[in-house]
A = this chain, B = another copy of it.
Amino acid sequence: MTTLQNDTFLRALMRQPTEYTPVWMMRQAGRYLPEYRESRKNAGSFLGLCKSPAFATEVTLQPIDRYPLDASILFSDILTVPDAMGLGLYFEEGEGPKFERTLQEEAAIKALQVPDMSKLQYVFDAVSSIRKGLNGRVPLIGFAGSPWTLATYMVEGKGGTDFLTTKKMAYARPDLLHKILDVTAQTVTHYLNAQIAAGAQAVMIFDSWGGALSHNAYTEFSLQYMQKIVNGLTKEAEGRKVPSIIFTKGGGLWLEAQAATGADALGLDWTVDIGQARERVGSKVALQGNMDPAILLSTPEAIEKEVANILASYGHGHGHVFNLGHGITQWTPPENAGAMIAAVRSLSKAYHV
């Protein structure tokens, strides 16, 4: 493998000294970039991008070619996993993801199995191909959805925000939901380990919908299964630690429990003051975040001010990876993303001396 030229991101995740605060952006390969929109047009669809290692490589590298980012992230979708589990993912124009089959009947749930990883070979091929394309410029992050988040799609058959069918199952038939979560956690563990084997140098678990759960239900239905995945992850590859990040959007009340999983870093959304988060869990984990992506729609001056606020709130020392608190929106002017990245690089140096 090629030598990594910029390992700032990996060192920050391990809370080791760095010269500045590394930065990347969730959904950095996305619709706000004209070159991405062009690739998507060529691929014919979003799933076409995900399922072609060549296209996935092309779009993964676009933000790396454009900006001085410190990490790349595999272009894919969390729903490739339920698709491989046999649920039949599809997208209807102008609508969100949907599944041909749902997991609501006891018989279907009891028949659920960990799929053969060969069904996700296109993802692992993309990882290998991206590593070649990166040629050691920055590390590559692999990722997956959390079991709870994936289960909401598998039970509801589509995206949502209140997850009433899934929650009804959680309270009326917890045994069935635990079965889904258990099989999904095993699947995600194999999936992330195969990404690591193919070349992923860090992994992140996106718990996009854990914040919809109650305090107790979060532990029982989401965090417990992320914990199982973290326990089962390959810890080292290419002679180096493979750090893990868990991110529950809307999970700022539960950082202490998240930090106790053994993950190396926690993602934070923008509702959390990162300085307060550091006081709560900074002795155990690195922190990744947490600018509101809506701010990228404003002005370079406002963006710089907010970058300065977040860096100051985290304060001196290591263990901070700058990021947005959620994916970059499609309406972001690309130059505003550039202004954020430049501000992080220049303003953060003072906190690392």
Contact = CB atoms under 8 A, between A and B. Distances in A.
Interface of A: 161-164, 167-168, 171-172, 211, 213-218, 250, 252-253, 270-273, 276, 291-292, 294-295, 297-299, 302, 306, 309, 325, 329, 331
Contact of A272 (B253, B270, B295, B306): B253
Contact of A294 (B163, B216, B299, B329): B163
Contact of A164 (B273, B294, B299): B294
Nearest to A161: B161
A271 B168 contact: no
A327 B119 CA distance: 42
A26 to B, nearest CB: 14
Contacts of A325: 214
Copies in the complex: 2
A298 B313 CA distance: 43
A162 B294 contact: yes
Contacts of A329: 162, 164
Contact of A215 (B161, B272, B295): B272
B271 A306 contact: no
Given A162-B329, A253-B272, A272-B253, A298 B168 contact: yes
A101 to B, nearest CB: 22
Interface centre among A217, A325, A329 (most CB of B within 10 A): A217
B164 A295 contact: no
Nearest to A270: B214
A222 to B, nearest CB: 12
Contacts of A302: 171-172
Contacts of A214: 270-271, 291-292, 325
Contact of A171 (B167, B272, B299, B331): B299
Contacts of A271: 211, 213-215, 218, 250, 253
A167 B270 contact: no
A284 B94 CA distance: 48
A298 B276 CA distance: 37
Contacts of A299: 171-172
B294 A168 contact: yes
Contacts of A331: 164
7 contacts: A162-B294, A162-B329, A164-B294, A172-B302, A213-B271, A216-B273, A218-B271
Contacts of A216: 273, 309
A171 to B, nearest CB: 4
Contacts of A295: 167, 171
A272 B271 CA distance: 14
A212 to B, nearest CB: 8
B171 A306 contact: yes
Interface centre among A161, A214, A292, A325 (most CB of B within 10 A): A214
A7 B297 CA distance: 49
A271 B171 CA distance: 16
A291 B298 CA distance: 37
A71 to B, nearest CB: 23
B297 A167 contact: yes
Nearest to A210: B271
A298 B172 contact: yes
A308 to B, nearest CB: 12
Nearest to A211: B271
